[in-house]
Structure 1
Amino acid sequence: MKLVSVETPEKSVCKMTFSATAEELEAASNAVYERTRANYTIKGFEKGEADRAQIEADRGEHTFWYDAINDLMDKDVPALYDAALAEHGFHPVDEPSYDLVSVKKDEGFVATATVALQPELNLTQTTGFVVECVTPAVTDKEIDAVLERRRNAAAELVPHKGPAVKGNVVHMDFEGLLDGVAFQGGTAQNQSVQLGSGRMIPGFEDGILGHKAGDEFDIHVTFPERYRSKELAGKAVVFKVKLHDVCVRQLPSMNSDFAKKVGGVDTMEEFREKVRKQLYDGRHGGALNRAKDQVLAKLADAAEGELPSVLVESTYQQEMQNVQQQLQMQRMTLNSYLSQIHETRESFTAKLHAGAEKNTRARMALLQIAQQENLVPTDEEIDKMIAERAERTKKTVEEIREKTNIPALKRTEAIRRAADWVIERSTIEEK
């Protein structure tokens, strides 16, 4: 492969074009074929027995091209890319994005690498920012709620001889029978269930109500039509139950004994104060982080100059991906979330894009400050960080170094140090 050209289509953006000849593409494609031929099953041949021509006749002449292109790019482009950056004195601030421009059997292929370069910003202010840190007060009602949750968590189960009612916790053995035969997953020993919790299938917990410790009885229920097991869905079954005990959840009194056992202090007054401090410290930590973010936002406002569009777009895509992942964890779609917050996709993405632009501007300003104030980590400091990471993860230094993007690690640490430097030289007013 060879480097064809190095261009700057816009300020602080570098675009390199690479090409490979038809002969290079053919040789790499044949190497992919030899490496993967055993994986192909072609009609009329045993798996792995078809030759390259037969595979390409069935799957298309491009079958091996894209793995071949990746192999050639991985082998040749990094050295060409690094040499071009060094020759032109370019300083990338992100990973390059690669695009395949064209590929033809008799011409080879052409690909590009586009990367954002460090912009030169005019930093009109780097220190002396003033922001407020507002920590909401903790109310007695909130303290009461925390104490009640801890009281419930400290409740003890006390057996009683009366009939089971909702809220009781019971321990039992049971065996489920379908047409007189025990079915998989229908048997348990000493199972604990709080009646009314809805943990068991509909009708099961109700079938226990009114029974006492020591009772043996049958519960007749029908599995829901949409039950996860198709063999049981919609089927009528019988559970043979032996009830070991019926327990009442006994809540402790909120007195000095409770304070000592649960709170680790002598009195309820001390326990309330301890809870108040815990709530306040949590809120204050969040408020302080928001105030620090405001300092960096003011730094972004004080950083004048053009940002590389590809870097802003990369940040936007990462932030959008984070949003999607968070929503996925909550089993929500973006559309349902936007419906809940009464916002259109256009306005939401516009806000996200504006935020990405501001975050990018702050990061680039911090990187520039790190360079000006000698905050960029040295090679020795990077070596120490890698050694600490290796010790922490129980891996070798070589393993960690091989998987670490050293330039990205340097940038990240430089930006972190610069953020601390700016915040230390600003004022956060506690409110």
Structure 2
Amino acid sequence: MKLVNVETPEANVCKMTFSATAEELEAASEAVYERTRDSYTIKGFEKGQADRAQIEADRGEHTFWYDAINDLMDRDVPALYEGALAEHGYEPVDEPAYDLVSVKKDEGFVATATVALRPALTFKQTEGFTAKCTTPATADREVEQTIERRRQAAAELVPHKGPAVKGNVVHIDYSGYIDGRQFPGGTATSQAVELGRGQMIPGFEEGILGHKAGEEFNVDVTFPARYHAQDLAGKAAVFKIKLIDVCVRQLPALNSDFAKKVGKVDSMDALRAQIRQQIEERKHNAALNRAKSNIILQLADAAEGELPSPLVESAYQAEMQNFQQQLRMQRMTLDQYLSQTHQTRESFTAAVRASAERNTRARMALLQLAEEKGLTPTDAELDAQLAQKAEQAKKTLAEVKERTDLRALRRNEAIRRAMDYVVEHSTIEEG
């Protein structure tokens, strides 16, 4: 393979173009065929007996191309990429994004690598920022709520002979059937289920209500239309259930024994004081972190210059994915969230993009400040840091370095040090 071109299609963005000849593609495809031929089953042949021409006639002439392209890119592009960066004096601030431009049997293939470069920013200010650290007061009810959560966690499960009702914890063996056949993932033994919590698919927990320990019975359910396993979505199923036991939660008394067990203190008054202190410390630390973040965002606002668009886009996509994951954990869709918060999709995405751009500007500002203040870690410092990881993992330093993105590690450590520097040279007012 060879490097065809290096260009900067926009500010702080480098695009490299690589190509491989038809002969290189053919040689790599033949290597892939030899490596994988035994895995192919072609009609009329025993597994692994069809030759390359027969496989390509059945699967298409491109069958081995994409593995071959990956092999060639993995083998040749890293050195070409690093050489181009060094020749042009470019400093990447993210991983490159690769795209396959074209691939033809008689021409080979062309691919590109696009990478964001560190921008040159101009600072209006780098020190002397001010932020307030306001710690919310802790109410008595917060202390009592924490005690109740710990009480619930310390509850003991006590079997009883009565019928199962909501709030009971049952232990069951079950196996699921669709059209009379067991389906993968539909069986369990001694599964604990708290009835009424909605842990299982709709209808499953309701089918256990009223049954007693030792009973065996069937529960008919229908998987939700949007079930995560698409092969089960919307299908009717029968679960054969054996109810091992029905348990009630027996809460401990709020006395000195409870205080000793959960807080290692002698009385409930001492436990309440301990919990209040823990809540206050947690709130103060959260408030302090918010103040530090505010200072860093002030640095971002004081840094002027054009950011690489791929870096902003990557940050935007990451923030969107993180937010949507949080919504899924709350069993909420984005449309439901927007309805509750009275936002349009356009205003929401615009706000997320603005946040991504501001956070990206902060990281780039910190990275530049680290260089200006001599805070970028040296090779020796990175080696010392990795040596500790190697010792913990019982590996050699060389093994750990081989699996570490040293450029990203250096960048992240530089940003961390610069963040500490900016905070230390700013003022956080308590109040």
CA separation of 1:173 and 1:363: change in aligned 2, threshold 3 A: closer
Post-superposition shift, 1:59?
1.6
CA separation of 1:256 and 1:80: change in aligned 2, threshold 3 A: closer
Greater mean deviation of Cα atoms: 56-65 or 90-99 = 56-65
Paired letter, 2:264: G
Q: Unpaired segments of 5 or more residues in structure 1?
A: 177-183, 209-216
Q: Deviations over 1:358-413 (max 9, x none)?
A: 11100000000110111111111111121111222333323321211111110011
Paired letter, 2:113: A
Distance 1:175 1:39 in 2: 36
Distance 2:119 2:87 in 1: 18
The residue number in structure 1 matching 2:88 is 88
Q: Deviations over 1:286-320 (max 9, x none)?
A: 11111111111101000001111111112212222
Distance 2:86 2:189 in 1: 70
The residue number in structure 1 matching 2:116 is 116
2:242 aligned with 1:249, yes or no? no
Distance 1:86 1:312 in 2: 24
Check conservation: 1:202, 1:221, Cα contact below 8 A.
Answer: no
Check conservation: 2:94, 2:115, Cα contact below 8 A.
Answer: yes
Q: How does 1:276-425 map to 2 (within 5 A)?
A: 276-425=276-425
Q: How does 1:52-71 map to 2 (within 5 A)?
A: 52-71=52-71
Post-superposition shift, 1:336?
4.0
Secondary structure of 1:41's aligned partner? coil
Post-superposition shift, 1:167?
9.5
CA separation of 1:101 and 1:138: change in aligned 2, threshold 3 A: same
Post-superposition shift, 1:164?
8.9
CA separation of 1:132 and 1:55: change in aligned 2, threshold 3 A: same
Distance 1:79 1:173 in 2: 58
Distance 1:30 1:172 in 2: 56
CA separation of 1:124 and 1:47: change in aligned 2, threshold 3 A: same
Check conservation: 2:170, 2:244, Cα contact below 8 A.
Answer: no
Post-superposition shift, 1:168?
10
Secondary structure of 1:223's aligned partner? strand
Q: Deviations over 1:161-209 (max 9, x none)?
A: x989979989999999xxxxxxx98998xx999999899954756455x
Post-superposition shift, 1:145?
2.3
Q: How does 1:205-224 map to 2 (within 5 A)?
A: 206=210, 223-224=219-220
Distance 2:277 2:101 in 1: 61
Check conservation: 1:204, 1:219, Cα contact below 8 A.
Answer: no
CA separation of 1:138 and 1:222: change in aligned 2, threshold 3 A: same
Q: Deviations over 1:8-59 (max 9, x none)?
A: 1112111111111111111111111111111222222222222222222222
Check conservation: 2:220, 2:236, Cα contact below 8 A.
Answer: no
Q: Deviations over 1:296-348 (max 9, x none)?
A: 11010000011111111122122223233333444544344434434333222
Q: Unpaired segments of 5 or more residues in structure 2?
A: 176-185, 225-231
Greater mean deviation of Cα atoms: 331-340 or 162-171 = 162-171
Distance 1:172 1:89 in 2: 64
CA separation of 1:241 and 1:61: change in aligned 2, threshold 3 A: closer
CA RMSD across the alignment: 3.9
Secondary structure of 1:224's aligned partner? strand
2:408 aligned with 1:430, yes or no? no
Check conservation: 1:196, 1:205, Cα contact below 8 A.
Answer: no
Q: Deviations over 1:117-155 (max 9, x none)?
A: 111000111111101112110011222222334445556
Greater mean deviation of Cα atoms: 68-77 or 336-345 = 336-345
The residue number in structure 2 matching 1:181 is none
Distance 2:170 2:48 in 1: 59
Greater mean deviation of Cα atoms: 366-375 or 388-397 = 388-397
- TM-score (normalised: structure 1): 0.81
Secondary structure of 2:42's aligned partner? coil
Paired letter, 1:415: I
Secondary structure of 2:220's aligned partner? coil
CA separation of 1:18 and 1:7: change in aligned 2, threshold 3 A: same
The residue number in structure 2 matching 1:25 is 25
CA separation of 1:171 and 1:410: change in aligned 2, threshold 3 A: closer
State the percentage of identical aligned residues: 61
Runs of 4+ in 1 over 6 A off after TM superposition: 156-160, 162-176, 184-188, 191-200, 227-232, 239-243
Distance 1:105 1:15 in 2: 25
Check conservation: 1:119, 1:307, Cα contact below 8 A.
Answer: yes
Check conservation: 1:17, 1:113, Cα contact below 8 A.
Answer: yes
Check conservation: 2:129, 2:295, Cα contact below 8 A.
Answer: yes
Secondary structure of 2:386's aligned partner? helix
Check conservation: 1:12, 1:307, Cα contact below 8 A.
Answer: yes
Distance 1:154 1:231 in 2: 38
CA separation of 1:418 and 1:49: change in aligned 2, threshold 3 A: same
Distance 2:280 2:313 in 1: 38
CA separation of 1:257 and 1:119: change in aligned 2, threshold 3 A: same
Distance 2:105 2:194 in 1: 70
